[in-house]
Amino acid sequence: MLVTQFEGGVVESAGMLKMDFLGLKTLSIVKDAIKIIAERQGTTELIDPDNIPLDDPATFTLFQKGETIGIFQFESTGMQKYLRELVPTNIEDLIAMNALYRPGPMNYIPIFVNRKHGREQVEYPHEWMTDLLKPTYGIMVYQEQIMQAAQIMAGYSLGAADMLRRAMGKKKADEMEKHRQIFVEGATAKGVPSVKADEIFEIMSKFASYGFNRSHSAAYTVLSVQTAWLKTHFPAEFMAAVLTHNKNDITKLNFFLRECKRMNIPVLPPDVNESNINFTVNAKGAIRFGLSALKNMGEGSGDDIINERKTNGPFQSIFDLTSRVNLKAVNKKALEALVMGGGLDCFEGTHRAQYFAPTDKYESLIEHAIRYGQSVQAQASQTQLTLFGDSSSNMFQAPAMPQVPQWSLIEKLTREKEITGIYMSGHPLDDYRLEIEHFTNCPLDMVTVHKDKHLKLAGMVTNADHRVTKKGTGWGIFTLQDFRGSLDIRLFNEDYKKYRDIMTVGEALFVEGHYQLSWNGQEHEFRITSARMLASIGEELTKSITVKISIDQLDQFLLDSLDKICEQHKGRHKLKLQVYDREDDFILGLISKSNKVKAASAMIEDLDALGIKYKLN
């Protein structure tokens, strides 16, 4: 294929038409959300996006509250703040905000907001431009307004007005001077004083340098309102579609999962008897994890499982599963992924450790189940070829499930994260995020790298072994595990007596210590110097919490929300407030005399949800 390429400006000057085609993920999200809605309602009739109302009061309430995570063009924290200030009441407000929220015109947002609410008088460059600029409160927001102003004020044709807009937008001095003369002459001929005409030209020139195409902003805003309508009226279905289109980006996936939590929408692990390929919504309104979001579970293996389930009903066990699916598609890796991700938890009386336990002559029950399934399928194939064969009979008896201890919660969660990228069941250390972030200095997978310093560690006790020496004195060894690694810690003599009571599986501990040569002088081992319950650390070591708010964030909604957070998390820690302005390099520090809070993970989560920064002191 022969291809040639020219710079856009050259192509346009040659009289050719330049067109931009944008691929928007949001269009796919809308399409998939509508499909999920239809599936859940049991209908083949799909919602037509073009019939979604653009003036729905409930949808505008969502915009007014700034609850726009997942909403096309409106989900940034800055945009959320301005939406709460603007309190948009119609689509024109949103079209204007979409055009204004970009470098340059953003400076006019406060003026736009104040004029909408009558706190500032609306002024027009000229009375002839009143109708043109009324929807945007006297501010030139769109390129089309520049062109129409040239028509109204100076008698420009549409073609000439577009050339004026281009010259202004690209700040071409020579062309600007030519158009200034044409504009002033045209306006003067219509009875506008030349000084006023020149003044209007300057105003137009200033706005044209960053004016946005209204038709572009309007088209985008219509799509934004459609996504907001879906989020308002079908929140679970909409968020399921959003999660599907972000399943390969763990950071974004976690971000949208937090939004689901804020919206009180449960997100359940995968289920071989309920999951589809992508995220979907079950009969109870919960989002179910999609099979294709599991590592090592391709769409081919997922499709095979789903098609078989739809044709012949739910699976009763792993042996029923392996005897029915294509084992070339649903192979050992796919089955392991299903188990680790929780996809087989639906089978009663079983747990995940059993599937990895050895059984009979096989290294794991999964391998045994695969061989069993192969035998059943081979028998079924033979009976079809036999004249008197009975295809319904099965001469093979399903193996018994091995009886082994369940995985510890930490191991279960670690394997979940390995296969899904997230802790589906919620990590027990999640409740101690604040303590881990602020009071430890090393994750457990890095302790050997930092042998030369005093270590402050945190983790969950996953194993504890109390022993007795030949002399009858007690000693012990326990395993501390965090999100990334684990560490075995030995306790002898007085250390054992002092800390043996907290050597309990499931306890979250804060441990300090250092490495020293062991008793044989051959190797280094970790020597504990103190150990405390992790839950008490925040209370003990924190004196105050400083909340940091950018002046751009500051509005009544944020202050009311912060007041509510302080009321919900009362405690003994001082609350400090810093309002800062990066541009002017200004910081205003305040201390609350009446509010004292409990600086704990629950409070931090609420601050994070509002995009508020903080620091423990």
Q: What is the pLDDT of residues 325-334, one digit of tens each?
A: 999 999 999 9
Q: By the 8 A CB rule, do 406 and 353 touch?
A: yes
Tell me: pLDDT of 234 over 90. Answer: yes
CA distance 480 to 493: 20
% of the chain at pLDDT higher than 70: 96
**Which residue, 111, 118, 166, is CA-closest to 141?**
111
Q: What token pair was written down for 329?
A: 């598609």
Q: b vs e for 601-610, b when ≥16 Cβ sit within 10 Å of the residue's Cβ?
A: bebbbbbeeb
Q: Name the CATH architecture for the domain at 428-536.
A: Beta Barrel (2.40)
Q: Which pLDDT tens digit goes with each residue over 72-90?
A: 999 988 899 899 999 999 9
Kindly indicate the confidence band of residue 388, based on its pLDDT and cuts at 50, 70 and 90: low
Computed on alpha carbons and rounded to an integer, the radius of gyration of the chain in Å comes to 33
What is the reported pLDDT for 578? 86
Tell me the Ramachandran region of residue 40: left when phi exceeds 0, alpha when psi lies from -120 to 50, beta otherwise: alpha
Q: 395 by DSSP, 3-state: which?
A: coil
The torsion defined by the Cα of 514, 516, 522 and 525, in degrees rounded to 10, comes to -30
What is the reported pLDDT for 585? 67
Strand 267-268 vs strand 287-288: parallel, antiparallel, or unpaired? parallel
Kindly indicate the confidence band of residue 298, based on its pLDDT and cuts at 50, 70 and 90: confident
Q: 472 by DSSP, 3-state: which?
A: coil
Please count the other Cβ atoms lying within 10 Å of the Cβ belonging to residue 451. Answer: 12
What is the reported pLDDT for 462? 81
What is the reported pLDDT for 275? 95
- 3-state SS record for 532-590: EEHHHHHHHHCCEEEEEEECCCCCHHHHHHHHHHHHHCEEEEEEEEEEEECCCCEEEEE
CA distance 404 to 364: 12
Q: By the 8 A CB rule, do 237 and 40 touch?
A: yes
Model's pTM, two decimal places?
0.77
Tell me: pLDDT of 396 over 80. Answer: no
Q: 33 by DSSP, 3-state: which?
A: helix
Kindly indicate the confidence band of residue 395, based on its pLDDT and cuts at 50, 70 and 90: low
**Which residue, 453, 459, 476, is CA-closest to 511?**
459
What is the reported pLDDT for 94? 97
Tell me: pLDDT of 452 over 70. Answer: yes
List Cβ neighbours of 72 (8 Å cut-off, separation of 6 or more).
Answer: 24, 26, 220, 223, 224, 227
Tell me: pLDDT of 386 over 70. Answer: no
CA distance 480 to 410: 10
Strand 508-517 vs strand 287-288: parallel, antiparallel, or unpaired? unpaired
Q: What token pair was written down for 35?
A: 């499909």
Tell me: pLDDT of 387 over 60. Answer: no
Cα angle 381, 382, 388 (rounded to 5 degrees) comes to 120
Tell me: pLDDT of 593 over 80. Answer: no
Q: Of 43-47, 155-159, 313-317, 531-535, which has the strongest mean pLDDT?
A: 313-317
Where exactly are the structural domains of the chain?
28-217, 266-420, 428-536, 542-616
Tell me: pLDDT of 538 over 80. Answer: no
Residues in the chain, total: 617
What is the reported pLDDT for 553? 75
User: What residue type is 218 in one-letter code?
Assistant: A
Q: What's the mean per-residue pLDDT of the chain? A: 88
Q: By the 8 A CB rule, do 59 and 268 touch?
A: no
Kindly indicate the confidence band of residue 384, based on its pLDDT and cuts at 50, 70 and 90: low
CA distance 239 to 244: 8
Tell me: pLDDT of 561 over 90. Answer: no
